[in-house]
């Protein structure tokens, strides 16, 4: 059973221009919301390849398939327990050369936030873990206790846009000198002690950005995204579409710039009288501005407030 509410569900699937019989890769299965609607669109003769590095997400979707909670549950479905940075190799193993559409939702599922063993949420008192793939070695506990003050400051700034990154890193150094930081509640208390009262009283919890930054470091999220983007364009057949939902400014900037770079033609210097590079655009950008959640969706699912959907088509 999943408690996750899928963000920009209809907008994302509609943007993919799906037809019966298509091959689609949902590289972030999560709660399965997008995949279930994709299955309705591609029908029994289509094929869905659903990726998730979280084995729990894969298991939950298998249970939904068995229980009859998924339309076309007996369709051609492959579930891949890998990070989307393994897209190309995974398709090769499945003997698939190209797919007709790819979608990626880079948000954290409610199921993962509610998992008390992961420590992704700053609520409660969970182990300071934050791994999406529980087979990985690096945990948030290791980052907080073993990284240098300079490294922690960089992570908080780069991945969390945390304005009090230096102060929080300093407090972490003092706290871990007294005892190892192993629980989310310990880290929340440290963050609260490092920021001004006005910051603590804001609508968004003062630990939000720091926890996001640590999670992104633990799961190597931006590097995985970069790797995935290059593989996605190689894996799409011409005319196929790529839809990506981001929740973090760093992710959105990366996707936006990558789309623009691959939609460019000539890259010769302006002073060249004629093109010498022979560079051809690989993508057509479908969404000049990102699609965001409607007011209705925001009322039903406040977590959608930072979601941005960008779509491109392979030329």
Is the whole-model pTM more than 0.75? yes
pLDDT above 80: residue 125: yes
Identify the DSSP state of 11.
H
Residue 259's contacts (CB-CB under 8 Å, 6 or more residues apart) are 283, 285, 310, 312
The model's pLDDT over 250-270, given as tens digits with 9 standing for 90+, comes to 999 999 999 999 999 777 777
The yes-or-no verdict on residue 90 having pLDDT over 90 is yes
φ, ψ of residue 56 in degrees (nearest 5)? -65, -40
Q: Is the pLDDT of residue 72 over 70?
A: no
In the predicted structure, residue 2 carries a pLDDT above the cut 90: no
Instruction: Report the distance separating Cα 54 and Cα 28, nearest Å.
Output: 9
pLDDT-wise least confident of 95-99, 121-125, 298-302: 121-125
| CB-CB contact of 107 with 31 (8 Å) | no
Torsions phi, psi for 47 (to 5 deg): -140, 135
Q: Are 118 and 129 in contact (CB under 8 A)?
A: yes
Dihedral Cα 243, 247, 248, 249, nearest 10 deg: 60
Yes or no: say if 101 and 88 are a contact pair by the CB < 8 Å rule. Answer: no
Structural domains in the chain plus CATH codes: 9-111+221-314 (3.40.50.150), 137-218 (1.10.150.170)
Which structure tokens are listed for 252? 């959105």
Q: What is the pLDDT of residue 270?
A: 77
- Can you give the pLDDT at residue 1? 60
Q: For residue 36, give the nearest of 8, 85, 73, 67 by alpha carbon.
A: 73
Model pLDDT, residue 27 = 98
pLDDT tens track for 178-218: 999 999 999 999 999 999 999 999 988 999 999 999 999 99
| Token pair 């009322």 in the structure block, residue | 299
In sequence order, which ranges of 236-304 are alpha helices (DSSP H)?
Answer: 249-263, 295-300
Give me the chain's average pLDDT, please. Answer: 92
Is residue 98 a contact partner of residue 69, using CB atoms and an 8 Å limit?
no
């Amino acid at each position: 059973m999943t408690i996750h509410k899928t963000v920009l569900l209809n907008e994302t699937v509609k943007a993919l221009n799906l037809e019966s019989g298509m091959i689609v890769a949902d590289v972030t299965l999560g709660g399965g919301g997008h995949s279930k609607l994709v299955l309705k669109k591609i029908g029994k003769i289509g094929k869905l390849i659903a990726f998730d590095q979280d084995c729990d997400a894969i298991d939950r979707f298998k249970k939904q398939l068995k229980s009859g909670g998924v339309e076309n549950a007996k369709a051609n479905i492959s579930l891949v327990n890998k990070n989307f940075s393994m897209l190309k190799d995974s398709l090769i193993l499945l003997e698939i050369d190209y797919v007709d559409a790819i979608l990626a939702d880079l948000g954290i599922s409610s199921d993962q936030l509610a998992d008390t063993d992961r420590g992704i949420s700053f609520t409660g008192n969970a182990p300071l873990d934050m791994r999406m793939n529980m087979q990985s070695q690096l945990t948030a506990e290791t980052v907080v206790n073993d990284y240098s003050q300079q490294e922690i400051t960089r992570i908080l700034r780069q991945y969390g846009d945390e304005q009090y990154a230096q102060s929080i890193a300093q407090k972490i150094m003092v706290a871990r000198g007294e005892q190892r930081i192993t629980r989310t509640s310990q880290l929340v208390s440290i963050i609260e002690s490092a920021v001004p009262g006005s910051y603590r009283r804001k609508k968004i919890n003062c630990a939000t950005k720091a926890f996001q930054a640590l999670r992104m470091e633990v799961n190597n999220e931006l590097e995985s995204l970069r790797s995935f983007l290059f593989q996605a364009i190689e894996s799409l057949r011409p005319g196929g579409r790529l839809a990506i939902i981001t929740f973090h400014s760093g992710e959105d900037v990366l996707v936006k710039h990558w789309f623009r770079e691959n939609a460019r033609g000539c890259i010769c210097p302006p002073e060249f009288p004629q093109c010498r590079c022979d560079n051809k655009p690989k993508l057509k950008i479908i969404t000049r501005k990102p699609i965001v959640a409607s007011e209705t969706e925001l009322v039903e699912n406040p977590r959608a407030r930072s979601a941005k959907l960008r779509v491109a088509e392979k030329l």
